[in-house]
Structure formats: structure tokens, C-alpha cells
Structure 1
Amino acid sequence: MEKAVKSQIGVSSRLSVAPMMDWTDRHCRYLHRLLSGRALLYTEMVTAPALVRGGALHLLDHDTAEHPVALQLGGSNPKELAQAARLGADAGYDEINLNCGCPSDRVQSGTFGAVLMREPARVAQCVRAMRDAVDVPVTVKCRIGVDEQDPETVLPEFLAQIVAAGCERVTIHARKAWLKGLSPKENRDIPPLDYDLVMRMKGLFPNLHISINGGIASLTQAQEMLDAGLDGVMIGRAAYHQPADILCSADRLIFGAGTDTTAEAAVMSMLPYIEAHLQGGGRLHQITRHMLGLFAGRPGARGWRRVLSEGATRPDAGPVLVETAMSHITALEDRAQAV
């Protein structure tokens, strides 16, 4: 059973959508799954203390339609991470991922995230404890280094230790994280990308499944990375802001199976999901805020965004508002076809 899960997730991780705080919640993941049936989806980071000490098990809620889906955990205590991993596996997640890349002050104060690049031995202990606790794959997402570290030295050592602890798959954000002096947003843009270093890691660790993350904004670029010998590509902001561009053709182009989806079909499939959410006491904007970029670059996209942005927070907003927003897309495209 474990081998079958690892094999399936390994294939899905050829293309994944990055875990992004405040963005990749369950509603976002449901939408992304409508666009691609095969890409691996990740939760926002959930801290192990919130689950183990705080009992915040609602953070594990997800729809069965989201699979394959991975839970990303934040933490640095092996015992606590093992407990949190077990809770995640019991909740049905297909993979448990340890965050060693987030540079935010809040994460640093909890001694996890990118600061763990300084403590590979502790990360190895965490990985081993999590592996012992669950049957699903345990993976790591990291940076190439932090602050004054020399990535050429620290990254191979970091990878060697987590591989020895049983990690078989890692996603490397190909930038350093500067823990002092740069904001989390600046850490996503300012430190230079070093794709070549990540490529060299594949040569040093041929049996380690390595996915690359950072600055990748198209399926063409993703395929180039795969053709160069990497095992997977993780896309973050582009997959969120232009989800149709990244995901609608992914099953065919990246996985070699399935047919392309459309943003229009995804919107129609979201309507019953929205209705169920509203009946459960939710609000429309909790879902539609993730849908604003669906038609990015297409005629009518501005009207689509405007209708949803202005109307979705109203107490009575529902599926009719989404259909009204869709009319901006269909009306302009019908007019273009008529011409």
C-alpha cells in the first residue's frame, strides 16, 4: 500500500502547486483540482503546535475531490511533528511535507521554516520521527541556504542528512532566504535564483526525487526543467494568479494524459460547491477571491474581477453573482466571434 501511494504521489509531483499562506486553502485547492486532475496540491502551512497543543483539527478539513493533496507542516520538535503527521495521515492526506523554507518573522520565532536550514541534524531527526509515525511519504521543502551561508556547501550537507533520515523527495526553492533585512515578499523576488545549483544537486543525489521551485511562470518553462533532468516542478504565484494558464493544459502537456480543461467549465462546476458552502454558513468571497485570476489576459477579465471584487462580500451574494460576472467573459467573446 505504501509503495503504491509513493508511486502515485511521485508521478503527481511532476507538477505541483506550492503551499502559499492565505492562498492555498481548501477552496483554492478545489478550484485548482477542477483545472487539473493530476497536479499535486499543497495546503497552506499548518503548524504542528496548532494541531497537537491547540487541537485545531479543523485546519485539516479538505474535500475528497482535492486528492492527490499534501499537508505541509511547520515545526521543529520531532515528537510533536510525528504526532501532527499522524493526525494528517489519519485525516487522509497523501503526503506530509516539512516546511524548511518560509522566512517570515512569525515562523522564525517558532524555530521552524527557513531557519531550519541552519540545523540539518534537527531536520533529519524530524524527518525520521515523521517517517516512523506514518505510512504516507514524508517530504521536505527548503531553500538553497540562508543569510551568509554558502549554498554550495550547506545544501549538499542538508540534503545528505535528510536523505539518510529517509526523505525520498525534496522541493528546493532556488533562492537563499535572508532572515534579517528582507520581508517575506522581498524574499520571493530579491535573492537571485540559482537553478544551476539545484540541477547539480540532482547529479549528486541521483536517487532523490528533486522538484524545483522559484520564479517558474509557465508550463513551457516547467517542461524545460523536466527535460533538463529534474523530477518535478513546483509553481507558486503564477498558478494562483493565472491558474488556467498553468493548470488547464497541465494533464496533457506535463503528464501526457487527459484533455485540456477550460476556465468556463471550472466556473460552472464551482456553482454547486459554492451553494453548499453558503448553505453551511460560509460567504461567497471566501471562495471567489481565489477565482479572480481565472480569465487573466482574456477579453472581459476586468469585468469578471470587478463584479466579484465589488459584490462577493455582500451578505446576500451567491451563485447568481458569479454568473453575472461570467457574462462579461461570454458577451465579449460572442461579440468577437460575430465580428
Structure 2
Amino acid sequence: MLRTQLPDVGSTSLVRSAARLSVAPMMDWTDRHCRYFHRLMTRRAMLYTEMVTSAAIVHGPKARLLDYSGEEHPVALQLGGSEPAELAQAVRIARDWGYDEINLNVGCPSDRVQSGCFGAVLMKEPQLVADCVAAMIDESPVPITVKCRIGVDDQVPEQVLPAFLETVSQAGVDHFIIHARKAWLQGLSPKENREIPPLDYPLVLEMKRAFPHLTIAINGGITSLEQADGLLEQGLDGVMIGRAAYHEPGNTLIGADGLWGDGPGRDAFAVVEAMRSYIGRHLEQGGRLHQVTRHMLGLFHGRPGARGWRRVLSEGASRPGAGLELIDAALAELQPQPATS
């Protein structure tokens, strides 16, 4: 396990500040390589692990599931589960890894999540969620947060969401990330559940007005820093960006620290340069190039030569022996930006 000695690691103030912008937990995407890459573009935003089930942590390979690079802070662990005792045990195990926040998934609509009775189906059982987070809080030295939907299936969001927030907050959670869509547990695929149910930003804004003491962040359909800033200006405490941060990380995360009033930080070319030593270490440890570079394909999205950058990495990074020279070949595809006067 790797930890840093940041003075605010795991503090409530750090978590609340970092909530201003966060990158959503995304299965098969936000692994430790992705998070390290994203951290090079934003010092401030909260990064989330892929969802890990409490059962996997209790019974599975703990180091493989929980290890990360200390440079990733601030970073949150997202758990999936519905057994209070098991979730508490998973939190107790994870304490040694020094995550800044532990988040309970009450929003994922996938079939495999439903079959385990966790994720979005828990929107139907707010008291069970309250019992889960209470057990987690008892074992956690860092904030416990909840990521949820506005409702599921035939629920009326205007009724169920405030009741859900009231019940769960009474158990001790004061920080919610709300995906501003319903989840349809039958009839829609997980992909469709991220796109088809209509967004209801006004309802999430109303929840902040109704629960001013809670930290409320919004997720769903947010594709730019300008859009994020506009939602913050309306009174929300945070914005979580998902697919846009993954597919267009340069456009979405470079400059993101401006939401805290900081300077722009690295440009895309400097990010690639900063990734070299990380990739080199990964290769020396027996890793494959594509395990890291698959997360970097969209870095130059919209720039001349971006297609060539993606093609070189996509075609070559999975080949045996592929190394840092492929990064140079991919960079050579990018056309210099015209000088500005």
C-alpha cells in the first residue's frame, strides 16, 4: 500500500473542498493508472476508484483491490454492498490504505449489481442504506458519503429523493452525490440508464435548498468545465463528471483547478512527459503499455493530429515489448499548434 503525508488527508474539510469537482467512479475505467493520469491534470479534484464490493474486500485479494499510488490523493474508495456488518468489515480493512473518503454506491443499475442487492435497487430501501452507512461510520476515520439516483422505476423522484436524503442523513451522512436521472432496473441496459432517463437538474438544486446543511454534488450529463461552473454558481456544492473526463480528459480536466481559483497547471504535452516515469516503472514491473495508455487516448481530443495519436497507441500499445518509443511515435502525429499573438 502507498500513502502520502498530506496534512489534510482524510479530513472532512479536504473532502468537502475536493467535492467541488470530482471524476466519477466508472467500472473498467477508473483504475489506478487512470487516476494517476488524471491527477497530473488536476491537483484539486476528488478521484474515485471503480466500485469494489464489500464481499470482495473481505474475502478477496486485498492489496490488489485496494493498493494505489500516494500521488493520487485526494482519492475515494467506492464500495458496493447491502450488508451492514460486511460493509463495516470492509471499511475496517480499508482503513490501513488511507483513502480520503469512502463512498457507498446506491446508483449503479447493472444486472450484476442488482443480483447482489446493492446499487440503485437500494433506493427502494432507504432504512437499509441508513443502517449500512451507520455501520460504516462506526468503523471509518474518514467521511462516509453516498452516491445515489433521484429514484428508480415507477418511484416519484419529488417524493422519494427528499425522503431518502432525510432518512440516510439522520444516520450520519452529510454528503451526497446525486445522479440526476432515474434508474430503470428492468428494460434498460446500464449504458441506456446513463443516457435515456431524462436529467432533472432542478430537482437536485431543490434538494440543496431543502437541505442546506448537506453537501450536495450533482452527476449526469455534465460535459465541460463551463457547465460545471454554471451549476456551482447555482448553489450546488460539487459537480461530478464521468464519461467526458474519461474520453476528453485534456478538455475537461486541464484547467479544472480554476474552479478553486488556481492556475491552469500542466498542458497536455507536459502531462505526457510527466507520465513517462510512471509508465517506465510499470513496464519494469512486468506491466503492459496498453494498460496505461488506453486511458490516454482522448488527451488531445479536438486537436490536429489527435486521430493519429489515438491510432498509434491503439494499434501498438498491446503488442509484446511495446515501450516508451511508442509514446514518441504517437506524439509525432500531433501537429504543432499555431502561435498566438
Q: Distance in 1 between matches of 2:162 and 2:21?
A: 23
Q: Distance in 2 between matches of 1:42 and 1:155?
A: 23
CA contact (8 A) 1:89 1:96 kept: no
Q: Distance in 1 between matches of 2:191 and 2:73?
A: 29
Q: Distance in 2 between matches of 1:260 and 1:284?
A: 26
Identity among equivalent pairs (%): 63
Partner of residue 203, structure 2: 197
Q: 1:289 aligns with which of 289, 294, 298?
A: 294
Partner of residue 251, structure 2: 245
Letter in 2 for 1:59: L
Letter in 2 for 1:333: P
CA contact (8 A) 1:274 1:284 kept: yes
Name stretches of at least 5 consecutive residues in structure 2 with no aligned partner: 1-6
Partner of residue 120, structure 1: 126
Q: Distance in 2 between matches of 1:319 and 1:213?
A: 36
SS in structure 2 of the partner of residue 233 of structure 1 = strand
Q: Deviations 1:281-336 (Å, cap 9, x if unpaired)? A: 1100000000000000001100000000000001110111011101111xx216x5
Letter in 2 for 1:298: R
Partner of residue 165, structure 2: 159
Partner of residue 313, structure 1: 318
Q: Distance in 2 between matches of 1:135 and 1:2?
A: 13
Partner of residue 41, structure 2: 35
CA contact (8 A) 1:2 1:135 kept: no
Partner of residue 5, structure 1: 11
Q: Distance in 2 between matches of 1:214 and 1:4?
A: 26
SS in structure 2 of the partner of residue 83 of structure 1 = helix
Task: Tell me the CA shift for residue 55 of structure 1.
Answer: 4.0
Partner of residue 333, structure 1: 336
Q: Distance in 2 between matches of 1:58 and 1:78?
A: 23
Letter in 1 for 2:268: A
Q: Distance in 2 between matches of 1:228 and 1:185?
A: 29
Letter in 2 for 1:215: G
Q: Distance in 2 between matches of 1:40 and 1:239?
A: 12
Task: Tell me the CA shift for residue 53 of structure 1.
Answer: 2.1
TM-score by length of 2: 0.96
Task: Tell me the CA shift for residue 2 of structure 1.
Answer: 8.8
Aligned CA RMSD, in angstroms, stands at: 1.5
Q: Name the structure with the higher helix share.
A: 1
CA gap 1:244/1:3 in 2 versus in 1, 3 angstroms:
closer
Q: Distance in 1 between matches of 2:216 and 2:225?
A: 18
SS in structure 2 of the partner of residue 142 of structure 1 = strand
Name stretches of at least 5 consecutive residues in structure 1 with no aligned partner: none
Q: Distance in 2 between matches of 1:136 and 1:66?
A: 16
CA gap 1:205/1:3 in 2 versus in 1, 3 angstroms:
farther
Whether 1:259 and 2:264 are equivalent positions in the alignment is: yes
Partner of residue 175, structure 2: 169
Q: Distance in 2 between matches of 1:323 and 1:55?
A: 36
Q: Deviations 1:12-36 (Å, cap 9, x if unpaired)? A: 1100000000000000000000000
CA contact (8 A) 1:89 1:95 kept: no
Partner of residue 301, structure 1: 306
Partner of residue 135, structure 1: 141
Partner of residue 273, structure 2: 268
SS in structure 1 of the partner of residue 89 of structure 2 = helix
Q: Distance in 1 between matches of 2:8 and 2:184?
A: 37
Whether 1:210 and 2:213 are equivalent positions in the alignment is: no
Partner of residue 149, structure 1: 155
CA gap 1:266/1:3 in 2 versus in 1, 3 angstroms:
closer
Whether 1:219 and 2:225 are equivalent positions in the alignment is: yes
Whether 1:104 and 2:101 are equivalent positions in the alignment is: no
Q: Deviations 1:1-59 (Å, cap 9, x if unpaired)? A: 99971001110110000000000000000000000011100000000000102244311
Runs ≥4 in structure 1, deviation > 6 angstroms?
1-4
Letter in 1 for 2:198: P
Q: Distance in 1 between matches of 2:264 and 2:230?
A: 21
CA contact (8 A) 1:26 1:43 kept: yes
Task: Tell me the CA shift for residue 61 of structure 1.
Answer: 1.1
Letter in 1 for 2:336: E
CA contact (8 A) 2:9 2:73 kept: no
CA contact (8 A) 1:202 1:208 kept: yes
SS in structure 1 of the partner of residue 260 of structure 2 = coil
Q: Distance in 2 between matches of 1:118 and 1:90?
A: 33
SS in structure 2 of the partner of residue 170 of structure 1 = strand
Greater Cα offset, 35-44 or 83-92: 83-92
Q: Deviations 1:203-227 (Å, cap 9, x if unpaired)? A: 1110000000000000010001000
Q: Distance in 2 between matches of 1:248 and 1:160?
A: 36
SS in structure 2 of the partner of residue 172 of structure 1 = strand
Q: Distance in 2 between matches of 1:133 and 1:298?
A: 47
Number of residues paired by the alignment?
334
CA gap 1:153/1:180 in 2 versus in 1, 3 angstroms:
same
